[in-house]
A and B are shown apart, each in its own frame.
Chain A
């Protein structure tokens, strides 16, 4: 059973701080990893994807991947109240296998306090 684990939170950070969201996955063969943001009552929207070990930066967001530890994280610098949402980690478990099915974690709810 392929699983993706996230701390459900809520994670509360003050405005301007760094928010750190973590995710672990069980399938060592997983090749690509995604972070989606979901506002309450809305659909998930992609923030970043990463597939190489190390860091990937996009504006205030940095994704970090460590395949040896089966761990992926998302850092949000200079957190804003508008970043308050649920962040979903998703893993594509099988490169070249069945078409792009993603396995999602249960999400971490982030609250950024003004």
Chain B
């Protein structure tokens, strides 16, 4: 009964390939996120998404695209992978209710991507 799950856990691929990471949450939350954690452990928001609004961090290359088939899923597609894309990618979810400022984000276990 994992709250936020990601697949795969590990992903090793060659430069130039296209890959996807899947994320599912069973918490009934309305907002999902993708974060990138680099080798220095810096956790940085890439996207946040609910059924109304996609917010893209302007520093994220357009090779990265989130796709949400439904409210419980937010997948991450990466085109033309580069060496610098190697990192741990975390999915997270929260229930964002206007007027409630302390909503908690729950993180998935992470996907460790290595681009060779």
Contacts and interface: CB of A to CB of B under 8 A. Distances in A.
Contacts of B99: 96
Interface stretch (A10-18, A20-28, A66-74, A102-110): A102-110
Interface string A31-65: 11010001000111110010100000000000000
B105 A100 contact: yes
Contacts of B33: 100-101
A106 B41 contact: yes
A46 B41 contact: no
Given A51-B101, A106-B41, A106-B42, A100 B31 contact: yes
Contacts of A34: 104-105
Interface in B97-116: 98-99, 101-110
B contacts with A: majority SS: loop
A92 B105 CA distance: 11
Contacts of A44: 43, 90, 107
B53 interface: yes
A contacts with B: majority SS: loop
A27 B108 CA distance: 28
Interface residues of A, number: 25
A14 B113 CA distance: 36
Given A98-B48, A106-B40, A31 B55 contact: no
Contact of B45 (A31, A38, A103): A103
Nearest to B103: A100
Nearest to A43: B107
A104 B42 contact: yes
Contacts of A46: 104-106
Contact of A88 (B43, B50, B110): B43
Interface of B: 31, 33, 40-45, 48, 50, 53, 55, 90, 94, 96, 98-99, 101-110
